Amino acid sequence: MEFNLDQDQISIKEMAKSFSETELMPYASEWDQKEIFPIETLKKSAELGLAAIYVDEKYGGSGLNRLSAALIFEELSRGCVSTAAFLSIHNMVAWMIDSHGSESLRKKFVPKLSSMDLISSYCLTESSSGSDAAALKTTAKKKGNNFYIINGSKSFISGGPSSDLYAVMCRTDETSSNGISCILIEKGTKGLSFGKREKKLGWNSQHTSTVNFDNCEVPIDNLVGNEGEGFKLAMKGLDGGRVNIAACSIGGATLALENALSYTSERKQFGRSLNQFQVNQFKLADMATNLDAAKLMVYKAANSLDIKDMNSTKNCAMAKRFATDVCFQICNEALQLHGGYGYLKDFPLERLIRDLRVHQILEGTNEIMRLIISRSLIDQGKKY
């Protein structure tokens, strides 16, 4: 088994690291505290191909694989977890349209998504369904042969009123998951509206709100794939999204560990540097060990998507569950090592804790990840 990155992957990682350290890291605290959505910075990332990482080059994408994407999001999150995570969501929508949309949809939307002339949001969650995504109630009823009429509401939508295009999972038939379809709704559509901007614990550089649909008339041509394929498409998108969010957790935890190593080498107590106390050495050792273990799981999950491994869904769930849990713990330990200083906004630890906390909830809660993993194990029977 090969654990080393090839030269292309090293170059991609270095490119993302350079962008992160020059365009994200210096501004992350200000974006967080002032709740600034850094659209111009996101467009700069698009110039490097980061807005359509695994989209066909024919439509302006980078044509990279999922492992390369994980490396990119890991580095971007060292600079700003919140902004990197939003970029992951935008990439998910671009991929959905590129991989399952009609040729006309791809031509219409993917080039503009690749350049971020259009910013996109993924709309699955509803207030009444939560983790039971198949129970969603937003409806799309046909009006003649040319339009859908969409009614309903989506909750906790990253991008909210700041986005331009919404990939909406809605019910075109009955109540089962087979009746769910994916339809694109453009900003400015009559009947499209937004709730108040949510005040959140973290992820403050991306605006979040409910998205409401009141008799929105949308062309039938905006259907992505076929009717009834939306739930399967959503779940495939979430596999990749889980790897990306896990990678974002790794990036945040990496920055936390770097800060902890620096601080404990400089700060002195009782005549010695903090890193000379065995109790702190053990903490640093555990943090580094857990971080490396999380990386291995995330890289394995990303690779399983690339090779279309039959266990890829389970691998993605495992990686997301483990990485988001242990990386949050790493940030918490790093703050503890900083003492009172870690609680101040002058240091990045408190922001990292706030930004990483939601990763244990979104893209499927970590409790849901355990369900996915256990069901996969039970389906396999006695073999593992």
Instruction: Give 232: exposed, middle or buried? Use CB within 10 Å, 0-12, 13-18, 19+.
Output: middle
- Contact predicate 209/161, CB 8 Å: yes
SS3 (DSSP) at 382:
coil
Q: Which among 40, 227, 363, 367 is annotated as catalytic?
A: 363
Residues with Cβ within 8 Å of residue 104, at least 6 apart in sequence: 221
- Report how far residue 44's alpha carbon sits from residue 49's, in angstroms, rounded to the nearest whole number: 9
> Residue with structure tokens 């779940």?
235
What length is written for the chain?
Answer: 384
- Report how far residue 341's alpha carbon sits from residue 329's, in angstroms, rounded to the nearest whole number: 18
CA 290 to chain centroid: 21
- Report how far residue 218's alpha carbon sits from residue 367's, in angstroms, rounded to the nearest whole number: 36
What is the DSSP secondary structure assignment for residue 199, as one 8-state letter? Answer: P
> Residue with structure tokens 């959505």?
37
What is the DSSP secondary structure assignment for residue 22, as one 8-state letter? Answer: I
- Report how far residue 126's alpha carbon sits from residue 131's, in angstroms, rounded to the nearest whole number: 9
Structure tokens at 267: 């700060």
- Contact predicate 248/331, CB 8 Å: no
**Residue 188: other Cβ atoms inside 10 A:** 7
Structure tokens at 270: 């009782």
Structure tokens at 298: 């995330």
Strand partners, 150: 140, 216
- Residue 126 a catalytic site member: no
Positions marked active-site? 363
